[in-house]
Amino acid sequence: MGRLAFWFWWPAASSPHRIPTSATIKGIVVNLREVRYTVSRYVFILGAGASKHAGAPLMAEFLDKARELFAANPKNECSEDLARVFGAISKLQSVHSKSELDIVNLESVFSAFEMADLLGVAPAVDGLLDSMKRVIAWTLDQTTLFNIKDGRIEPTPAYKAFAGLIFDLGGEWGMAPAFTVITFNYDLAVDVALDTARLRPEYGLTGASGRVNLFKLHGSVNWLRCPSCGKIVPDPIPARLDYAVIKPLTWSELKKLLRREAECCGKAVTGDCVIVPPSWNKAEYRTDLVNVDFATLNWPLSML
């Protein structure tokens, strides 16, 4: 079974407590049942690496994977952005020889690009930061594939077990307690698992309620910004596919197959996805997510 590394939190009368856990789903169930009579709310935090089993590359291997995909398919919808990013990375070689800059790690490279853009020095070029974000989204799209079974998107085994755990815990209580899943990942693997389990994940962008709050603090590959009102609008997860599909599909292939797009202000919303890049300058992008409804957590946001 796949492994999910996360923190499990619950509020106490005076101050929150936390249990660091890195275990299989079976181990998680044991931990939760031990405290089931003392909690009123479950909060799961999924850190970087939780979607590794779903195909999403880690920070240290992300750019190598993007380069590999680019080499295999040099004429793709993201080729211009890929060429711009890897051209800029090659210019960092001279800096790399005189510093400890890791030009393979995604976070280090993006931070270097932001600093260069701030100072107006090489390798900064127009559109480089936007290209980097598109490369992140494209790489995740190409590596996180979805199997289709009986007309439905099939979640990964580990995330399916995780969603099943939440569903079962809700049943044990007689009525579903408030569940919140916080993730720092951009991909849709956990979104699909929760949706497939009929848990109706709610991103906290619209004020609507669902059985599970899914707060994606760094954005998501299915979030788009309405050009008219500026709101963040999520692309819906399809419930069923009325097509025979014999191979795993990317998220972009699913969208084309269904011909479905996010809508706002009476028209379709397209464009770049809304993500907070992995860099030192996250505050620059944090205003994108200022409307996420964290009030349902019932504990200090400073804990994040």
Could you please report the per-residue DSSP string of 191-211?
HHHHHHTT--EE-SSSS---S
Q: pLDDT at position 95, please?
A: 67
DSSP E strand stretches across 85-229: 147-149, 152-154, 178-183, 201-202, 212-216, 219-225
Q: Is the pLDDT of residue 260 over 80?
A: no
Instruction: Give CA angle at 162 (161, 168), nearest 5°.
Output: 85
User: So what's the pLDDT on residue 34?
Assistant: 45
Mean pLDDT (whole number) for 154-179: 78
User: How far apart are alpha carbons 210 and 124 in whole angstroms?
Assistant: 43
* Local confidence band at 87 (pLDDT 50, 70, 90 cut-offs): very high
Residue 137 or 15, more confident: 137
pLDDT score of 11:
35
Band (pLDDT 50/70/90 cuts) for residue 278 is confident
- Rounded mean pLDDT of the chain? 77
Kindly report which listed range (58-67, 133-142, 202-211) carries the lowest average pLDDT score.
202-211
Rg of the chain (C-alpha set): 20
Question: Is the pLDDT score of 274 beyond 80?
Answer: yes
The answer on pLDDT for 6 being more than 70 is: no
Which letter does DSSP use for residue 146 in this model?
Answer: B
Per-residue buried b or exposed e for 169-200, using 16+ beta carbons within 10 Å of the residue's own CB: bbeeeeeebbbbbbbbbbbbbbbbbbbbbebe
Q: What is the pLDDT of residue 255?
A: 82
- Is residue 303's pLDDT more than 50? no
What is the pLDDT at residue 301? 37
pLDDT of residue 80: 96
**Above 80 in pLDDT, residue 262?**
yes
Which has the higher per-residue pLDDT, 65 or 38?
65
Determine the pLDDT at residue 81.
96
What is the mean pLDDT of the segment spanning 34-40?
Answer: 40
For residue 288, pLDDT over 70 is answered with: no
pLDDT at residue 35 in the model? 42
For residue 189, what pLDDT is reported?
A: 95
Share of the chain above pLDDT 70, in %: 71
Measured between alpha carbons, how far is 287 from 274 in angstroms, rounded to an integer?
11
d(CA 37, CA 91): 58
Residue 137 has pLDDT above 90, yes or no: yes
Query: Which strands sit side by side in the sheet containing 232-234, from one edge to the other?
Result: 232-234, 219-225, 273-275
Cβ-based neighbour number of residue 137 at 10 Å: 24
